[in-house]
Amino acid sequence: MALPKRRQSKARGRKRRTHYKANSVNFSTCPQCGQAKIPHRVCPNCGYYRGRPVISVTE
């Protein structure tokens, strides 16, 4: 198996990593209350997930 003859410089490694970026979070609307929420998570506004109350939210 081939081995590198010289160590890669920090700048060269960092140039390669410029494309590793965090993606923005997508939001969906809660069918219960209509607020924006993260998909596949309990709605922080009403506490419902898939049409069922999961957590009690005090108002």
The pLDDT averaged over each successive group of 10 residues in the chain (59 residues) is 91 92 91 94 93 85
Reduced to 3 states, what is the DSSP secondary structure of residue 18?
helix
Q: What is the pLDDT of residue 3?
A: 92
The H or E element containing residue 16 is helix 10-16
Is the whole-model pTM more than 0.95? Answer: no
Q: Contact, 26 vs 13, CB < 8 A?
A: no
Greatest pairwise CA separation for the chain in angstroms: 65
Give strand pairing partners of 49: 52
Contacts of 24 (CB under 8 A, 6+ apart): none
